[in-house]
């Protein structure tokens, strides 16, 4: 059995890709687990944090809680993957699992996926090409 790994970056209309374009050079890392999204942003600059919180809420996300962690702000959000054109909705149908975190930086989304399904890998690239 073969293990397939696909790593790619993409730009499309997605709230966190768009949000990352507003904060050049600042990576927004996301883990999606059990109906929650954890966002890690390496800043505690009050002005940036305020703008990020506004952007998160504007994107239709609800911030359940947040925490300081060293020089980082961590946000816990309710998962809304099913409400948006989420990248997870594209690769899950091809039996891929993401290898977190997804990283949003400078208006791009960076993803890493793994699967044991060669046919699903080919189908995923066909979906990406269309």
User: How much is the pLDDT for 76?
Assistant: 85
Distance CA 28, CA 100 (A): 12
Q: Cα–Cα distances in Å, from 18 out to 11, 116, 122? A: 9, 32, 28
Per the model's pLDDT, the better-predicted residue between 125 and 112 turns out to be: 112
pLDDT, tens digit, 9 for 90 and up, residues 115-128: 998 888 888 888 87
What is the pTM (predicted TM-score) of this model?
Answer: 0.86
Q: In which band, very low, low, confident or very high, does the pLDDT at 15 lie, cut at 50, 70 and 90?
A: confident
pLDDT, tens digit, 9 for 90 and up, residues 16-47: 899 999 999 999 999 987 778 889 999 989 99
């Amino acid at each position: 059995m073969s293990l397939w790994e696909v790593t790619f970056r993409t730009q499309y209309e997605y709230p966190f890709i768009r949000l990352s374009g507003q904060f050049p050079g600042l990576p927004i890392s996301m883990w999606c687990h059990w109906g929650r999204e954890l966002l890690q942003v390496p800043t505690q600059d009050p002005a940036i944090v305020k703008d990020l919180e506004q952007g998160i809420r504007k994107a239709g996300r609800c911030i359940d809680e947040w925490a300081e962690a060293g020089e980082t702000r961590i946000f816990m959000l309710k998962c809304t993957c099913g409400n948006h054109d989420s990248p997870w909705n594209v690769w899950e149908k091809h039996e891929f699992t993401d290898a977190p975190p997804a990283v949003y930086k400078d208006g791009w989304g960076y993803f890493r996926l793994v699967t044991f399904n060669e046919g699903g890998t080919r189908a995923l690239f066909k979906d990406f090409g269309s």
